Amino acid sequence: MSAWHIAPLNPCDAPWPLLLDADPSRDKVQGYLPRSTCFAAHADADGAVLGLCVLLPTESGAWELMNIAVAPGQQRRGLGSALLRHAIAWVHAQGARRLDVGTGSFGDQLLFYQRAGFRVVAVERDFFVRHYPEPLWERGLRHRDMLRLALDLPGA
């Protein structure tokens, strides 16, 4: 894999195919993207966006990871973990004590977050049935329930 670096990304420049890969609801993405803070992994060679993450402050003073995606041809090479580590460090530097994320109740993404230390704090039953017009399938199983995960950050 060629070299890459992580840098801030103007939300307007976030590539839609990547955003929709992580969150297939264009309406939802349009709702949070303009207010968000984004970072991207850029290819050193030409600046292409290979992956991105999208963060939003919550009303409780925490931050939420709204979206994280790596281009299909670049996955499983550590880019997603590097973006997640970058997001965690940036949120911590803002003085936040917690990073939240919502994800499916099974599958690779859940493993991805749990490996980074996220813990389950709540279950929203039938979230994906109620909020997404098209069924979301993974390995032949329909996603129904959303797990709310949180990573507690050390005090400043």
Ligand X SMILES: CC(C)(COP(=O)(O)OP(=O)(O)OC[C@H]1O[C@@H](n2cnc3c(N)ncnc32)[C@H](O)[C@@H]1OP(=O)(O)O)[C@@H](O)C(=O)NCCC(=O)NCCS
Q: Which position among 75, 98, 124, 144 is part of the footprint of ligand X (CB under 6 A)?
A: 75
Beta bridge partners of 6: 41
Residue 20 near residue 29 (C-beta atoms within 8 A): yes
What is the Cα–Cα distance from 104 to 85, expressed in whole angstroms? 20
Q: Which position among 20, 24, 56, 77 is part of the footprint of ligand X (CB under 6 A)?
A: 77
End-to-end CA distance of the chain: 36
Site for ligand X in 14-73 (CB under 6 A): 21-22, 68-70
The label of the residue with tokens 């590097």 reads: 82
> Under rule CB under 6 A, how many of the chain's residues touch ligand X?
18
Write down the least CB distance from residue 153 to ligand X, Å: 20
Where on the chain is the footprint of ligand X (CB under 6 A)? 21-22, 68-70, 75-81, 103, 108-109, 111-112, 115
